[in-house]
Amino acid sequence: MKLYTYSHCPFCSRVTYVAGKLGIKLEEVVLDYDDTETPTKLIGKKMVPILEKDDGTVMSESNDIISLFIELAGANEAIKPTEGAIEWQGGSFAPLLQIGLPRWPLLGLKEFKTESSRIAWEDKKQTTDLNFVQLIEDTANIVLQVNEFLIGTEKQLNISNGKTSLSLVDSAIYYSILRGLYCEPTITWPEQLNLWMNYQALESGVPLVK
């Protein structure tokens, strides 16, 4: 099976995370950020993740792909995320975008190798509220808020010795979003949360974004 992704994308990385944890083999194809043609041919719009199965059929939507993987692996795992994880995710996008938007294109990720892909990103993602130069200038303030957010997250996850009792799909949500914050080195990671994140990177094979 082939999975079309962007490396920075939280929806893609929760899929690769679950695949990694369940031992499902995937050929990952990281699309150029300005490649509109490939995803549009596959699903009629520019969106990833896209799963292309061995019989040539395609699927989008991370939740559906994850459910399929759990079924294929015959894993005794909850398919639905908990309310707690969904609510946390709702509050996580603002800090994630403030940190990630101006930084991810500068990290050498595969989707941003070309200048045209970085320009396409800026054209699509930069707004008056999320001005990239301003976001970088505001780093100190944003980092303070992110640090608070991470302290709350660590408490919520109830981590002990770098381990949690989260289900696979909840772990995928937390991991796929938090990994995107590692690109800002002045963020202070609470010790247990950082330990958990680093274990997840190792166990899933999905790297932190830095």
Give the interface with ligand GSH as residue ranges (CB under 6 A). Answer: 6, 9-11, 46-49, 60-63, 124
Taking the complex as a whole, how short is the minimal distance between the CB of residue 188 and ligand GSH, in angstroms? 26
Between CA 36 and CA 120 the distance in angstroms is 10
Taking the complex as a whole, how short is the minimal distance between the CB of residue 135 and ligand GSH, in angstroms? 17
Between CA 153 and CA 194 the distance in angstroms is 11
What six digits make up the tokens of 207?
A: 């790297």
Q: Which of 22/97 has CB closer to ligand GSH?
A: 97
Taking the complex as a whole, how short is the minimal distance between the CB of residue 203 and ligand GSH, in angstroms? 22
Q: Which of 60/192 has CB closer to ligand GSH?
A: 60
- Using an 8 Å Cβ cutoff, are 138 and 186 in contact? no
Q: Tell me phi and psi for residue 4, to 5 degrees.
A: -90, 130
The letter for the amino acid at 120 is: A
What six digits make up the tokens of 69?
A: 């993987």
Q: What angle do CA 16, 23, 162 make, to 5 degrees?
A: 75
Taking the complex as a whole, how short is the minimal distance between the CB of residue 50 and ligand GSH, in angstroms? 9
Q: Which of 20/81 has CB closer to ligand GSH?
A: 81
Taking the complex as a whole, how short is the minimal distance between the CB of residue 86 and ligand GSH, in angstroms? 12
Residues in Cβ contact with 57 at an 8 Å cutoff, skipping those fewer than 6 apart: none
Q: Which of 46/110 has CB closer to ligand GSH?
A: 46
- Residue 151, classed as helix, strand or coil, is helix
Taking the complex as a whole, how short is the minimal distance between the CB of residue 190 and ligand GSH, in angstroms? 25
Q: Which of 63/145 has CB closer to ligand GSH?
A: 63
The DSSP-derived string for 117-137 is HHHHHHHHH--STT-HHHHHH
